[in-house]
Amino acid sequence: APPNPPTTPTAPPNPPTNPTNPTTPTNPPTPTGPPPLQDIGDNGGPGFPLGECEGDCDSDDECSGDLRCFARDEGEVIPVPGCTGSGTAGDDYCFDATGYAVLVSEDNETTGELIVPYATKDSNLVFTGLFECMGDCDTDDDCANTLRCFQREDDVAIPGCISTTALSGTDYCFNSDGYLAYVAEDEVVDDVLVFFSSKDFGRLGECEGDCDTDNDCEGSLICGQRGETSGPPGGCSDPYLDSSVWGDIDFCCDPNKEGCDTDIF
């Protein structure tokens, strides 16, 4: 019989789809962290507006987007928030001011009108009021929407804001929800609430004072009576962390919260 025909040779296995080359070096992970301070230029030119941690800026207008110019006095190397390094002594750098206390305005002493000499990108603040953590305010009316003006002495911390950038004694707008707020008093003659800010009207909300009776408080809130050394009523926090600041001012509070009482507490 004739010999069997040779069998069909087996094909070699297909190579892997994505072969790994052991000799190819892998890239190290990109380091993360705050960017270093960089000197780009001065008084405009290429590279302006400046990015985060770039300088030297003279005003907020020289910074991109919502960045602000962190001002330092001549010779100072104060750390710039969110940046690393010292930069050039006395130079100013753009930074992300979100959450930081920033000075953008002052009141005209003659008219009381809010003016914005420090940050012209916020010129609309003349009409809308300062936003959270912005200063300098004198009354609640200087603050946008329901924000209030936090009156400060020296370097008292501002609730809800990073106060390391705040100027000593300067007042800043803050979200007063849940904090004691002295916004009105009773008119002696008519026993009618008189508010210190035209943005307020009607009756007092939770944690607002000075109330004398439950009728001064809105809805089901009651007037929590305080002694001169008493802390805040239930459900409220003291932004100054010092009950002596308030004297015997009484605040409206929620009777369903512990520590809210019509008797002196």
Would you give per-residue pLDDT tens digits along the chain (265 residues)?
555 555 555 555 555 555 445 455 556 556 568 899 999 998 778 889 999 999 999 989 999 999 999 988 888 888 999 999 999 999 999 999 999 999 999 888 888 888 888 888 888 888 889 999 999 999 999 999 999 999 998 899 999 999 999 999 999 999 999 999 999 998 877 778 999 888 887 899 999 999 999 999 999 999 998 887 788 998 999 999 888 888 889 999 999 998 887 765 4
Question: For the whole model, what pTM was predicted?
Answer: 0.77
What are residue 84's DSSP bridge partners? Answer: 36
What is the C-alpha to C-alpha distance for residues 98 and 67, in angstroms, rounded to an integer? 9
Compute CA 180 distance to the chain's CA centroid, rounded to the nearest angstrom.
18
Compute how many other C-beta atoms are within 10 angstroms of the C-beta atom of residue 207. Answer: 26
